[in-house]
Each structure stands twice: as structure tokens, then as C-alpha cells.
Structure 1
Amino acid sequence: MIKRLTFADEKERKSETKPGESIDKLFIHMATAVAKVGKSVHRIFVGNLPWTVGHQELRGYFKEFGRVVNANVIFDKKTGCSKGYGFVSFNSLQALEKIENEQKHILEGNYLNIHKS
């Protein structure tokens, strides 16, 4: 979210901008840079995870397909138990293609449900 700064904020941050550049332009530039970075990350949903699988096990399984940027299993806040699904992010589209080309994904005896997200 881009916040529009007040005159007092702009006066305080003047030293962070180049001469002649407004704060609004600086924030637009930063938001664009973040958006460009976000496009290079490819994410999948992984369902039917065994309750024994954590973040490291999920990462370990998918690292054979490509560089894993993030692997996250979703846990119930009250019980601390796995909800049986998670998300894995890769930095390349080739990793997703390798995953799609493999017919079955089995982790600790469970067939995984995988979808692009």
C-alpha cells in the first residue's frame, strides 16, 4: 500500500530524495521495484500433506525440482497441528514445469495435490 505523505513528512524525508524528486515519485519507484521482483517468484499450493510434514520436509521434497525460495506448511493456531496443506515458491518457471511433468507426487505415503497459485 502506498501512503501519501503530509507536508511535515515530506520535509523530514527531503534528505532521502534526489534534488527535484518528490516523495510521491520515490514511493512509486519503490512500489514498481517490488512489483517487478514479485513477478519472478512462482508459487504452488500443496494439499494432502501428512501431519508429520513441516517446513523443512516440504522444502526438502521440492528442492529436487528447482531452487525453493520459500516452503510454508500451514498450522492451526489453536492446536499447533498441520492443516494438511502449504505453499512452495520457486524462482524459475522451469521448476513448475518439472513438477507438472511428474505424474505422481508422494510424500511420506500421501499423494500430494498440487496446483499453481
Structure 2
Amino acid sequence: MSAPGKKVFELFVSKIPWTLGTKEVKEYFGQFGHVRKCLLPFDKGTGFHKGFCWIGYTTEEGLHNALHKDPHVVEGSKLQVQQNMMPFTWRRMDKEAEES
């Protein structure tokens, strides 16, 4: 198994209901493993999140636990969950968020 930081253990989650915030999303996905990062981007114009997020786990086990559960239903909404195949650049997203 690769050392943490050398391999990406990330999910991309979409169809997140507007009633959920970062805390609730992180708590939900925390049941599968330790969540290192949860990025739920917000739209500055509307104040609502954009309906998708990235979840970063500290271990591959957390990622696999989340991927093997189906369906993911939160507050009556079925979330779309898939492995993020491309390494996510957190700094790039932060820059883009500042510029929007």
C-alpha cells in the first residue's frame, strides 16, 4: 500500500441537496473512514453550494468503504458517488474560488 500523500483517496460526490452543508457532508462520509478534506464549493452570487463536493480520505480503506455502499441517501436524496480519478489540486480550487 502506498504512503499517504502519494496516492489519491478521493471521492467526487454530486446531487447534494441544498439543505446540507460542509459539516453534514463530512459527518456522513466520516462513517466510512477518516475524512482528511471536504470541499463543498459555494456560489458567491446565490450563497448556496453548487451541489457537488470532493471528499479526501486518509486511507484507501475509507475510500473503498464509501464506494461499496450503494445507495448513498441523505435527507431523502440519492447522492451520486464515484472515485475521483484525477488528483485534485486544492490550491487551484481555492484560487478559482477567490477569483469568482
Would you say same fold, with TM above 0.5?
Answer: yes
Decide whether aligned partners of structure 1 residues 95 and 37 sit closer, same or farther in structure 2, where only a CA change above 3 A counts.
closer
Q: TM-score normalised to the size of structure 1?
A: 0.64
Matched residue, 2:50: 83
Matched residue, 1:63: 30
CA deviation map 1:2-34 (0-9, x unaligned) = xxxxxxxxxxxxxxxxxxxxxxxxxxxxxxxxx
Q: Secondary structure at the match of 2:82?
A: strand
Matched residue, 2:12: 45
- Output the CA distance in 1 between the equivalents of 2:65 and 2:14: 18
Q: TM-score normalised to the size of structure 2?
A: 0.74
Question: For structure 1, which runs of at least 5 residues remain unmatched after alignment?
Answer: 1-35
Matched residue, 2:41: 74
Question: For structure 2, which runs of at least 5 residues remain unmatched after alignment?
Answer: 85-100
Matched residue, 1:105: 72
Would you tell me which structure has more helix in proportion to its own residues? 1
CA deviation map 1:22-71 (0-9, x unaligned) = xxxxxxxxxxxxxx753255111110000011110011101110000011
Structure 1 or 2, whichever has the larger Rg, is: 1
Q: Secondary structure at the match of 1:61?
A: helix
Q: Secondary structure at the match of 2:44?
A: coil
**For this pair of structures, how many residues does the alignment match?**
82
Q: Which residue type is aligned with residue 56 of structure 2?
A: S
Query: With CA pairs under 8 Å and 6+ residues apart, which has the higher RCO, 1 or 2?
Result: 2
Contact persistence 1:45–1:88 (CA under 8 A): yes
Matched residue, 2:62: 95
Contact persistence 2:38–2:53 (CA under 8 A): yes
Contact persistence 1:40–1:91 (CA under 8 A): no
- Output the CA distance in 2 between the equivalents of 1:37 and 1:109: 34
